[in-house]
Structure 1
Amino acid sequence: MNAANPYSFKKVTLDDLALLKAWRSVPHVLEWWDAGEGYNEADLADPRVARWIVSIAEHPFAFMQDYTVHGWDTHHFAGLPKGSRGIDQFIGDPDMIGVGHGQGFISARMQMLFDAGAPVIATDPHPDNKRAIAVYKKLGFEAAGPPQETRWGLILPMLAKT
């Protein structure tokens, strides 16, 4: 965290699972994320996915994950160049929605991924999630084809390049 980037990213641990479960039960998150069973120790140990609690001024307010798009044989982004990363996230704290934090922390994490050598960052919002799509477009993402059905649900593939 610095003046240019006020956001901090802490690796999710088992101690964070109750917070994530609470966030995943709020209506604005449930609209786009399945409440599911949450994460467990094996999920957190999966080397394909890095999971983060995002904070500002030591206030945790969001979840973000980035993952290798080549970690699953049938992943819809598997054709991207080596080193490409996918991202997913949500703001868990309702008071932090609609005030620019989504664009802010996603941009900060994207810069970290590009700085680490990712040639492409991919994301896959639901085609009806207009708010997320608008934020991604502001961050330089472009649609990479029409909506498609995947094993994770209906998505709009979007890509950002260095």
Structure 2
Amino acid sequence: MINFSSLNHKLFKSSFQKHYMSSHNLFPHGPSRFQWKKFKDLMNMYLLISIIPLGGLITYCHIYIGPATLSEIPEDYVPKCWEYYKHPITRFIARYLVTDPQEDYEKYLHHIFEEDEKRRLRALESQIIFSLRDNLDYKSYYYRPVLAKYHRLHKQCADKIAEIMGD
């Protein structure tokens, strides 16, 4: 049988310089293990900070709440989307963290409606461009809004000139 501890010692023997301080005490010179120890400490701390509360929550849900059971529902009651799940944690996630499937469907329908409106506008634009080419016409505004007060002033001036000139 192989003795792995002695094999490990021979394969991974430290290549650091050893400084003899007194008779038999050795002081190895090498890189610090401070960062490795700090990493291990922080990893253990964060794992325990997350695992202990989550484990307590899961245990509480399994012991006190338990899975959902089927029961009679009234005639006029429509179940919510999260009430179809059996496990209480899944129900919580479906209720507060994930969007409702009906809401997703309505968003999808709105997206389809918007794309259809864009398609119709593109078709109308191409029809207008075809009509302009067909009639040898050009793009222009055919109506200029005009203010009526200038027409009234012009008419008053023309009436005064007509009075003075004496028709």
Greater share of strand residues, 1 or 2? 1
Same fold (TM > 0.5): no
Which range, TM-score by smaller chain?
A: under 0.3
Larger Rg: 2
Structure with the larger RCO, 1 or 2 (CA within 8 Å, 6+ apart): 1
TM-score (structure 2 length as normaliser): 0.16
